[in-house]
């Protein structure tokens, strides 16, 4: 009997927790009123989740109904309403913390008004309404976040505006700027990529731009480590990029929120565009296009995500534009001098070389640790992550910043080359032509030139190519391009480990060379096998003519009755045989070559491209031969039967092209580049443009 009573009580307790939890999640104000009207007031304060959330916390998080929280507050006796101020869950969040994270300004206003007007018997005499309001707004959770801080963290701009207004009326706005770990309110908004909220806060108080966290990082440092927030480091396929360009950079909501700059900046940007680009930009940003895009984005999730990305990228650039003019840390490192001068060293002392060999483990570890440190200025951090927008804006504002070096003595070229950021390297080379002539001579504290950094694979993650062979070619091409930029004596310079750049490149790429050689061998073997099979099929088809032969003359029967179609069959059969045998010869020549490192720069990609082209053409010719045979032997009268036959014949070609096109295109591109480079060498100098 006692056991049954215990079970019944447990079920009642579960019901007391489960029912209000479900109704609060749904925003069922009437259901909550009916449930609690017969309960004691203490029931409203009982936790109903494992995180010690009360029904108030759950109702505050509900976005479906704005009435649920207000109904619950009205049910609390007037004398106990201030207890809501101290009621926290396991994370230390109060009801206002939860409301702030949802952005429901009406609920926040109602909650603050109700709590500040509470007059308990013991508290009302001690605290004025303003003091109560100050406590409500200033209460912190376990991380030290106030409701205003939490609203900024979740990117609720309207809530931030409201709470800032409330804090200003009290006069303690600056108390909300930091949490316990030193992170500022602006850092928090930027970490969540809520750049609209960050811009509004920065417009409200420009001093936020100079605030640093415990590691001494400003907001610009933080943005420089966020490549996903910028267009230049966001990789898209062609179709997605086209759709991206059709969407406006902002919406009317952004303008109404005051997140964008004045039209003066827009006019300056438009002056840099051509007339056609200006007209296209005007249409893309027009209200009509905004309306169309808004309708499409509401019904299509993919389009909405693309537009959201573009608005994020736009707001990120706008934020950087403001920060660049305010962040004093940009030029703080100008006085820093590199430890290593630019004197080249063609031979290290034997003692130093022996030390390098005997203590190779510890020495290499030390050098690796030094190279692994992040650059200490926003410019060099952005150069390491490839964010062109930040690099361009900083260099436009502070041209002398191009001379900055980090704590390892590395300038912007060292950093961009080390991190394989080709776009930054090209940007600096294009816009800072005179400065580059000095920067290429820089030698860092470890004795590394820019060519040494082109050889190092510390930050190499496979490059942009799909196969080991093309990846090695990309590395070789990158090394050669950097080598062209430095004087010849610098190619012989030895670092503190006593390596020249070429020796270091060979050492660092041993494993990659093995992978490339293995991939080429396996690919050539499998491709040549397929080519031999195709050659056997088309060779047999040449001696088994469709329709048979005349008994007397020995000529094909269908040659006289279906001459055009039979001629097509013959041509395709010969083409298939020739191209398949060509592919076999090419792949065998690659297999029998030495597959040395330098061959991967041009020879192997060019030959692989020829082999793949021949193989693809042989597959196409074989299927066309098969189709011609069907039409010669079987007389198809119905159009739909003919169409199905064509579709069946083209299906293998389409599948082959679909799965192999990217690989084929990459090798074809490499082959064309190789041919063009060869033509530049043999043509007179006036026929080719100078690299400078």
pLDDT of residue 339: 56
Range in 103-112, 207-216, 290-299, 422-431 with the lowest mean pLDDT: 290-299
Q: What is the pLDDT of residues 487-510, one digit of tens each?
A: 988 999 998 999 999 999 999 999
Q: What is the pLDDT of residues 437-486, one digit of tens each?
A: 999 999 999 999 999 999 999 888 887 888 899 899 999 999 999 999 89
What's the whole-number mean pLDDT along residues 250-258? 52
- Residue 496 CA to residue 408 CA, distance in Å, equals 13
Pick the CATH number of 512-687 from 1.10.3120, 1.10.3470, 1.20.140, 3.40.50: 1.20.140
What's the whole-number mean pLDDT along residues 3-32? 72
DSSP 8-state code for residue 378 = H
Range in 94-108, 396-410, 562-576 with the lowest mean pLDDT: 562-576
What's the whole-number mean pLDDT along residues 397-425? 91
Q: What residues form DSSP beta bridges with 585?
A: none
Best-predicted range by mean pLDDT among 5-19, 421-435, 622-636, 641-655?
421-435
Please spell the DSSP secondary structure of 49-72, one letter per residue.
STT---HHHHHHH--S-SSHHHHH
pLDDT of residue 4: 59
pLDDT of residue 613: 87
Residue 97's pLDDT band, with cuts at 50, 70 and 90, is very high
Domain layout of the chain by residue ranges:
2-181, 402-508, 512-687
- Residue 146 CA to residue 188 CA, distance in Å, equals 12
Tell whether domain 402-508 is in CATH 1.10.472.10.
Answer: no
For residue 558, the Cα-to-chain-centroid distance in whole angstroms is: 60
> Within 13 Å, how many C-alpha atoms sit on residue 248's CB side?
21
Mapped onto helix, strand or coil, the DSSP state of residue 549 is strand
pLDDT of residue 304: 85
What's the whole-number mean pLDDT along residues 545-564? 62
What's the whole-number mean pLDDT along residues 585-605? 91
What's the whole-number mean pLDDT along residues 518-525? 94
Q: How far is CA 144 from CA 133, 150, 167, in A?
A: 18, 10, 17
- Residue 69 CA to residue 99 CA, distance in Å, equals 10
Residue 361's pLDDT band, with cuts at 50, 70 and 90, is very low
- Average predicted confidence (pLDDT) for the chain: 80
pLDDT of residue 114: 82
**Fold match between domain 2-181 and domain 512-687:** no
pLDDT at 636 over 70: no
pLDDT of residue 240: 87
- Helix residue spans in 543-686 (DSSP H): 558-561, 563-591, 603-633, 639-682
Question: What pTM did the predictor assign?
Answer: 0.80
Residue 678's pLDDT band, with cuts at 50, 70 and 90, is low
Residue, of 245 and 274, whose pLDDT is higher: 245
pLDDT over 90, % of the chain: 38
Residue 360's pLDDT band, with cuts at 50, 70 and 90, is very low
Residue 118's pLDDT band, with cuts at 50, 70 and 90, is low
What's the whole-number mean pLDDT along residues 670-686? 64
pLDDT at 691 over 70: no
pLDDT over 70, % of the chain: 74
Q: Which two tokens stand for residue 451?
A: 């060519």
pLDDT of residue 557: 60
What's the whole-number mean pLDDT along residues 37-48? 85
Q: What is the pLDDT of residues 178-231, one digit of tens each?
A: 999 999 999 999 999 999 999 999 999 999 998 988 888 899 999 999 999 999
What's the whole-number mean pLDDT along residues 69-73? 87
Q: What is the pLDDT of residues 166-180, one digit of tens each?
A: 999 888 899 999 999
For residue 113, the Cα-to-chain-centroid distance in whole angstroms is: 44
Pick the CATH number of 2-181 from 3.60.15.10, 1.10.3720.10, 3.90.78.10, 1.25.40.20: 1.25.40.20
pLDDT of residue 244: 85
Q: What residues form DSSP beta bridges with 184?
A: 178
- Residue 652 CA to residue 658 CA, distance in Å, equals 10
R_g (Cα) of the chain, nearest Å: 35
Best-predicted range by mean pLDDT among 203-212, 538-547, 552-561, 682-691?
203-212
Residue, of 269 and 131, whose pLDDT is higher: 131
Q: Which residues lie below 8 Å from residue 109, measured CB to CB, with a gap of 6+?
A: 162
Mapped onto helix, strand or coil, the DSSP state of residue 556 is strand
pLDDT at 513 over 60: yes
Residue, of 432 and 2, whose pLDDT is higher: 432
Residue 629's pLDDT band, with cuts at 50, 70 and 90, is confident
Q: Work out the burial of residue 546: count CB atoms within 10 Å of its CB; fewer than 13 is exposed, 13-18 middle, 19 or more buried.
A: buried
pLDDT of residue 121: 47
Residue, of 515 and 340, whose pLDDT is higher: 515
């Amino acid at each position: 009997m006692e056991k049954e009573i215990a079970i019944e009580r447990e079920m009642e307790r579960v019901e007391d927790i489960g029912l209000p939890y479900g109704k609060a999640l749904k925003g069922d104000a009437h259901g909550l009123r009916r449930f609690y009207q017969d309960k004691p007031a203490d029931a409203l304060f009982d936790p109903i989740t494992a995180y010690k959330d009360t029904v108030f916390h759950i109702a505050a998080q509900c976005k479906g109904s704005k009435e649920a929280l207000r109904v619950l507050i009205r049910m609390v006796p007037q004398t106990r309403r201030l207890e809501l101020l101290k009621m926290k869950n396991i994370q230390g969040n109060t009801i206002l913390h939860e409301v702030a994270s949802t952005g429901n300004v009406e609920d926040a206003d109602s909650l603050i008004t109700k709590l500040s007007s509470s007059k308990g018997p013991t508290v009302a005499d001690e605290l004025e309404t303003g003091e109560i309001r100050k406590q409500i707004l200033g209460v912190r959770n376990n991380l030290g976040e106030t409701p205003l801080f939490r609203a900024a963290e979740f990117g609720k701009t309207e809530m931030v505006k409201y709470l800032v207004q409330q804090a200003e009326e009290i006069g303690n706005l600056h108390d909300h700027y930091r949490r316990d770990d030193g992170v500022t309110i602006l850092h928090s908004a930027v970490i969540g990529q809520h750049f609209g909220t960050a811009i509004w806060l920065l417009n409200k108080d420009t001093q936020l731009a100079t605030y640093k966290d415990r590691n001494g990082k400003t907001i610009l440092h933080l943005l420089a480590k966020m490549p996903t927030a910028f267009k230049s480091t966001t990789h898209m396929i062609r179709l997605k990029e086209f759709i991206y360009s059709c969407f406006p950079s902002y919406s009317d909501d952004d303008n109404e929120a005051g997140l964008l700059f004045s039209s003066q900046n827009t006019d300056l940007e438009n002056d840099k565009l051509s007339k056609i680009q200006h007209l296209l930009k005007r249409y893309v940003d027009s209200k009509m296009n905004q309306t169309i895009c808004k309708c499409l984005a509401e019904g299509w999730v993919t389009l909405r995500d693309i537009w959201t990305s573009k608005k994020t990228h736009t707001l990120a650039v706008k934020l950087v534009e403001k920060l660049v003019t305010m962040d004093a840390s940009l030029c703080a490192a100008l006085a820093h001098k590199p430890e290593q001068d630019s004197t080249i060293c063609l031979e290290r002392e034997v003692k130093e070389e022996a030390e390098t060999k005997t203590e190779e483990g510890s020495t290499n570890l030390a050098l690796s640790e030094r190279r692994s440190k992040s650059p200490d200025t926003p410019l060099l951090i952005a150069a390491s992550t490839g964010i062109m927008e930040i690099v361009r804006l900083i260099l436009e504002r502070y041209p002398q910043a191009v001379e900055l070096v980090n704590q390892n003595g590395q300038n912007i070229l060292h950093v961009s080359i080390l991190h394989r950021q080709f776009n930054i390297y090209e940007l600096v080379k294009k816009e800072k032509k005179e400065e580059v002539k000095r920067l290429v001579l820089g030698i860092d504290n470890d004795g590394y030139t820019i060519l040494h950094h082109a050889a190092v694979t510390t930050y190499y993650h496979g490059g942009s190519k799909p196969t080991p062979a093309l990846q090695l070619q990309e590395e070789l091409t990158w090394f050669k391009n950097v080598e062209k930029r430095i004087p010849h004596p610098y190619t012989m310079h030895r670092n503190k480990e006593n390596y020249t750049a070429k020796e270091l490149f060979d050492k660092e790429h041993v494993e990659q060379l093995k992978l490339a050689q293995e991939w080429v061998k396996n690919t050539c073997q499998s491709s040549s096998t397929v080519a031999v099979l195709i050659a056997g099929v088309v060779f047999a088809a040449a001696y088994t003519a469709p329709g048979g032969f005349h008994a007397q003359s020995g000529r094909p029967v269908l040659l006289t009755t279906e001459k055009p179609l039979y001629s097509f069959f013959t041509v395709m059969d010969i083409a298939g045989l020739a191209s398949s045998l060509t592919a076999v010869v090419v792949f065998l020549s690659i297999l029998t070559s030495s597959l040395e490192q330098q061959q991967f720069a041009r020879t192997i990609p060019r030959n692989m491209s020829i082999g793949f082209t021949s193989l693809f053409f042989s597959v196409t010719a074989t299927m066309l031969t098969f189709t011609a045979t069907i039409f010669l032997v079987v007389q198809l009268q119905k159009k739909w039967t003919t169409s199905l036959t064509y579709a069946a014949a083209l299906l293998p070609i389409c599948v082959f092209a679909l799965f192999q096109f990217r690989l084929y295109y990459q090798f074809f591109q490499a082959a064309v580049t190789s041919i063009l480079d060869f033509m530049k060498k043999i043509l007179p100098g006036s026929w080719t443009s100078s690299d400078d």
